[in-house]
Structure 1
């Protein structure tokens, strides 16, 4: 799987990169068409103004009497009419392109986010969430500038440049030819510096993303940071990253400033020289005053359009870098995909009275980030419907990895897993995971109230069902004592709850889902003795006649399991009941002796 940074910016031109936005623009072709009409009308109205001034100068101020006064009146009336058309069409263009900018940006953000949340955990092993958030915010804002402003400005100024150039030739072929040659000499330095600005723009966005990644990581670990008194260290680290981003941004700004200065000096220098020639032509009688005035206005339009295009080019360069980063992110494909022709689980395949059968056949697996370390090796396991199997072993033995394989967060490199006789790779991810309930070791609490946190287990559950699940998980009592009961906001990541309370919320969530296969990963690890007794009783009821796999370091939790398997270095080394494994005197007996000696009251 390629990472989001795998495509070098230098390998694509701005134009080809921005073409990646076309799929997001196509649905709004009609609005682009209306905006285009308004754009053309506004440009034509702008181009009509110098011609009106020529008429006013040559015919209005060139004579006296009622005829001249009437002509001046008509000319100014026409100018007001042109201004009215210009104002209406410009307002219409601004509204349409602003709407398009906001709409397309919202679509891109939704599309990128929808793509990211479908990625497997492998993606998040190599990508920081802060970097993804930077792309969803900063990068999309740059694209909004291009779609909502820069494209319109570019087209407007291209029309003004072409139209003004044509009218310059109509006014004076000689002067226009000279100015064209001089403007051609201006393009070369603009192009050269434009490429440098684009590279610096990409670097600047990367540095901002790095700073966001650092901030996101630290803000999610504030208790640890403060416990180790690293506040100043982390603040300095973030400041260093921000300063690095600032210095990179300043290099981009200096380059763009130089580009703007060069463009203005060369363009207007060329125009001043040509106008000097025009002034001499008027003095010599080769041009009228009105023609020179018209030429000056059209030359100003052409110069202004060219200067605006250079500004737009700077925005386009930055947006090209942002687009490139977003397209790189969109191009990342999760290695865990739904099958082309998925099989369906029969509606009655799982019954709470019987549970689900589970079969692991010669499983071999290593994490993509650790290809030389085998996490699971030649593991085979058959679990009968309704059976409760406990999985024990030292840290790193592969217990949690086994759960991740069952949920298809990863696919094994060897062997296959069957759920009720169907290879889980033949099921859609939704169908598979909908049949599995899990209480993870690290409890996740969302920034919502207690009711919605538990309802996460089943979105359409009623309030009564949520409360029933909370009672089963021994969570009802402490929730009722919260300031607003089930409507109490639990804080980001559940900071307002104790570890045991967060664990009971997670258990209630899994119980509400009511799955045929239940995975408990240290489900009672964060509970005190009284809470553990309450939850253990609730779990025993929930596990009855349901297929359950339990991971636990505290062996007292698993003594009543139908079967215990002992894992070591990714392999099953022992299988049996608590008593039979103790009698064998193997790995489990060693763990039991050590643990129960340390905690003699745990039996």
Structure 2
């Protein structure tokens, strides 16, 4: 009862957390509003999932951001008035003939006080409004992204199975880790910053038009060109971003497939290269666009000064130096903010591209409605099943008919077995009964009700499923069983495990039912996984039980007991069995033979044997070779069964997760410099990029010099107009040259860093991926290295470790350094006052960086853990759906994210304040400089042009630092990512090539195991092999038999060097395999495992992957397929060998997948053939032919085979019985039978 209470408490907590964070999911029945569901083509569409109160806050925040921006140009008005006052003072006091110096001095002091007071008050107002706007957007962005993440996973889990047939679930790991981060980046604090810039732009232009419309219009000539440039940039960025995201998603899908099937190798650089090329093109056009933008801005400065001075010289009374400065700075402020907004536009465009794909998935309604309360619920499911004229073909292979008008009726409580050749449609019938698919024609009835009319979520709770390849989830054994029934108590779980013959081996584990099974159950043997899956099905006490090769992975010791448990479980409930091993279904009420998608025979075993047709042929084919050993009397059989019940050997797990972190050779700290070194092949691009960034950084201080010189010239506008005109022309030309410099510098910075960054991204992803593939298997056994977590690192960290960050740093340093130099050079006293504010800016930067550092680490860990949960659920969607655990996994995902989300919400206040402070400090600094500069002008005869140069240089340097501060979160993410990247790339695998490793080009095939002791590294307290000795001679076939979990698969894994033994030696041709390079060792080994791992590529590519050392020819591929008895099937497919297999080979039956895996092993032409239950999934007819093919393939090769079905290894040269980590018997089949030891008992038990 305690377990049940805990489960309920967890559900309650999850509900409380969802409510606290306003996670209100829309019903799957009610798709998002059609108008909003459109897309993220309009930016407001990104906020479609915000609640109404959140939308109000966002609107208010947007208004406040616009007000904050609108306040900034008021500084220009105050600055213009002060400039006019200073020039009037200079004209009165520095011109010898002037007699008005005293009054002008009093006016100067009054003007300085007025400027200082109102400018400071304006700074305070800007700080407060910036804080409020940033807080509003950041707080709500965190909530909304949390909701979108959760809703995205919810919608994924509620998609129907046909949808997953045409979409790779691996894409979604990239979407959740990378695309949603970009989406978050585009709706958070960058939005108020952008709105502030736009508010400033509008306000500044309005002020300029009011103070001097004629000059303002001349200054605005460049604006249409700027608008066109920005629009073009946004269009191209969106276009190339979509292509880039698609390519990275494909790469993420490949990565997930490979990491899920880590014992098989595949390359994935092709997708990355496509993404890189698109990104480089994007940076090229961005560089040109932004370069032209800055050329227009600086040219407009020159034009503005030239025309302003012309208006004054022409005697226009509206224009004074003060008015001209107000108009000019207003236009400059507007234009600059327009230009500075460009990176934000890129972030928004990327967010729109990412959001569009996310929303498309959310908005797409499944063709099969799986939501709760969407159909009828029967009072009770009795289990009458009827298929009426059902025709079906899979959506991804519409030209291949599977069922062709099948009619089948099953009475409630009956046990019905479906038999037939591999791929005939048996498993398809089970999927239609679960309503994974709807038939193209005909109907499926449950208790007389069309299954389409039933509440699907409720209906599936009445079905228990045990599939051929059981999927367990990365949690405890108890929780895996509880997935079958969320209300199950501990007593229910134990009882179900006992009925599935799993209780004893579970209790033998140190942690018992609390043992973690690893991702997809990787820490257990196949038989152990199968029994836990059976327990999971039994614990829900279903009305309908579907068994798809439920005992295929069990050893002889366990099979009869589990089969007996299944027979008992089948009582009083409808049971449909798909079986290749016909001995397991003889007691069925009805046996249905399916051929070519139709029922060709049905009846009891005896009836069908009397017909002597298809079923008779299948049975007689399967029993050949074992008949002479079937005459065991009932007494012996009873003793054997008793022996088996008392002696369950499955007490040792294959491997077990350890909670303690492994001590790795990790880089503890990393900086951007470590990434720069990784980028060294692009040194020329980096150097040119730094030159461009540095040159761009000097543009603003150069502007300050030119500006100060022009202001100094205006002093003589009345006394020497010709001089003023000549100097103005010169300095305005310099402005245009500064624009050309900025254009070239911007292009160099953006294109060169972008080009180098994308090549680095490709290199990082490839090296991280390559580093992962080189790790020992123990690395992947650790729970923090699940597929979802590793995929998140591949997609997120590689992207964060690159970009424009180095350019931003160089740019800002150049601006600040030159600004400080100019300040000290022109007036050191004023420079010292200005430098007082530099530490304040640095402190603000430091505070935000320290906060972001901790936040980035927490967020990365939280995101990787939650993505691991999501990828595991989506990757095993059939199991999740059949168990009805969609909501359970969604709650696990939410619970993993929630603590970090709450922490982020608390931290938004400090971040908003720091950002507001960073904007206000510029205004305070400018006020202090001009106030002190005014006193220097009056009291020390300092040239006012120098004062303006120092003040303007300071403000430009501060602006540059403040803009960098806005991107501090990105910089910190880059540093955190750099650490993660370098840790992964530099990790030294525990199993690797020795320093003088031998490249073994040829091999004879002699294999020796000497005194092997081994325990899996994540649970070294449990010895799996305990001094094992074994010799396999060249060309001989050695079979390993024994109870599940006794160490048979471990023996093969040690030969593959997936692990190294704790002591002892494994040798190939007398060479210790540790002295042989891993590649050359494995090139001599061909393996076919119990659960074949195929990739979402064509059949030809999957077979060719068997030998990656060369390009396999089409003739070789076909020949390998013929040997594996799969050629005829492939040849009859519409696309033949070019047929895409679907993710994890889901478009094929188990037998078809296994035969392709066999072909993949044979194409390598290995010297040593390793067969781990290679024929376990094949039907009787195929097994015989494939077994003959394997027998032929063994000729001239050493073969090490594992088998539970002893009939398949009777002809082996040597049979070794493994028990408790050692070989207890060995000999040929006849010898071992005559000894009447353990092998005899196992064999007799199977017949």
Give matches, 1:411-422, under 5 Å.
411-422=438-449
Who is 1:253 aligned against?
A: 283
Any residues of structure 2 matched to 1:27-426 within 5 Å, and which?
Answer: 27=52, 28-59=54-85, 62=89, 64=104, 68-223=108-263, 225=264, 230=265, 234=266, 237-281=267-311, 286=316, 287-337=319-369, 342-346=375-379, 349-350=380-381, 355-426=382-453
Cross-structure match for 1:25: 50
1:495 Cα offset (Å): 0.8
Q: Shift in Å at residue 281 of structure 1? A: 4.4
- State the shift of 1:438 in Å: 0.7
Contact 2:434 2:460 in 1 (8 A): yes
Question: Is 2:420–2:595's contact at 8 Å kept on the other side of the alignment?
Answer: yes
Q: Which of 505-514 and 307-316 deviates more?
A: 307-316
Shift of 1:194: 3.7
* Residues 17/40 of structure 1: CA separation in 2 closer, same or farther (3 Å cut): closer
Per the TM alignment, residue 498 of structure 1 is displaced from its structure 2 partner at its CA by: 0.3
8 Å Cα contact 2:57-2:136 kept in structure 1: yes
Kindly provide the CA deviation profile for residues 262-318 of structure 1, in whole angstroms up to 9, marking residues without a partner as x: 111112212222123224545666533322332232122111122134333322332
State the alpha-carbon separation in 2 of the partners of residues 291 and 273 from structure 1. Answer: 16
Moved more, 61-70 or 441-450: 61-70
CA contact (8 A) 2:417 2:590 kept: yes
The answer to whether the aligner puts 1:453 opposite 2:480 as a matched pair is yes
Q: Give the Å deviation of 1:336.
A: 1.3
Q: Distance in 2 between matches of 1:338 and 1:325?
A: 22
Instruction: Tell me: CA distance 1:67–1:161, structure 2 relative to 1, closer, same or farther (3 Å).
Output: closer
- Contact kept, 8 Å, 2:66 with 2:198, in 1: the verdict is no
- Structure 1 residues 592 and 15 mapped into 2: Cα distance closer, same or farther (>3 Å)? closer
Structure 1 residues 353-403: Cα deviation after superposition (integer angstroms, max 9, x where no partner): xx4222222222111222232211222222122111111111011110000
2:133 is paired with a residue whose SS is helix
| Partner in structure 1 of residue 491 of structure 2 | 464
The Cα shift of 1:94 comes to 1.6
C-alpha contact 1:440 1:522 (8 A) present in aligned 2: yes
Bigger radius of gyration: 2
Distance 2:134 2:323 in 1: 33
**Secondary structure, aligned partner of 2:268:** helix
Change (3 A) 1:545 1:586: same
- String of CA shifts for 1:81-136, please: whole Å, max 9, x gaps: 21112112212222221222222222222222211211222112211112122222
Q: Is the 8 A contact 1:18 1:323 kept in 2?
A: no
Runs of at least 5 residues in structure 1 that lack an aligned partner in the other structure: 1-12
Is 1:345–1:431's contact at 8 Å kept on the other side of the alignment? no
**TM-score of the two chains, using structure 1 as the length reference:** 0.90
Q: Secondary structure at the match of 2:375?
A: coil
8 Å CA contact retained: 1:60, 1:69: no
3-state SS of the aligned residue for 2:474?
coil
CA distance in 2, matches of 1:189, 1:282: 33
Report what 1:508 is aligned to: 535
8 A Cα contact 1:134 1:209, kept in partner: yes
Give the corresponding residue for 1:4. none
Secondary structure of the 2:587 match is coil
CA distances 1:401-431 after superposition (whole Å, capped 9, x unpaired): 0000000100111221211221111101112
Question: Do the aligned partners of residues 333 and 542 (structure 1) sit closer, same or farther apart at CA in structure 2, a change above 3 Å counting?
Answer: same
Report the RMSD for the aligned CA atoms in angstroms. 2.4
Name the count of aligned residue pairs: 576
Cα pair distance change 1:489/1:285, threshold 3 Å? farther
Who is 1:540 aligned against?
567
Distance in 2, matches of 1:158 and 1:99, equals 22
CA contact (8 A) 1:448 1:490 kept: yes
Normalising to structure 2: TM-score of the pair? 0.45
Higher deviation after alignment, 103-112 or 548-557: 103-112
Q: In the alignment, does 2:563 pair up with 1:530?
A: no
Q: 1:571 to 1:443 in 2, by over 3 A?
A: same
CA contact (8 A) 2:39 2:45 kept: no
SS at match of 2:188: helix
Contact 1:50–1:297 (8 Å) recurs in 2:
yes
Structure 2 unaligned blocks of 5 or more: 1-37, 90-102, 631-1245
Q: Distance in 2 between matches of 1:358 and 1:207?
A: 45
CA drift of 1:206 comes to 1.3
The change in CA–CA distance for 1:92 and 1:507 in structure 2 (over 3 A counts) is: same
Query: How many Å separate the matches in 2 of 1:265 and 1:206?
Result: 34
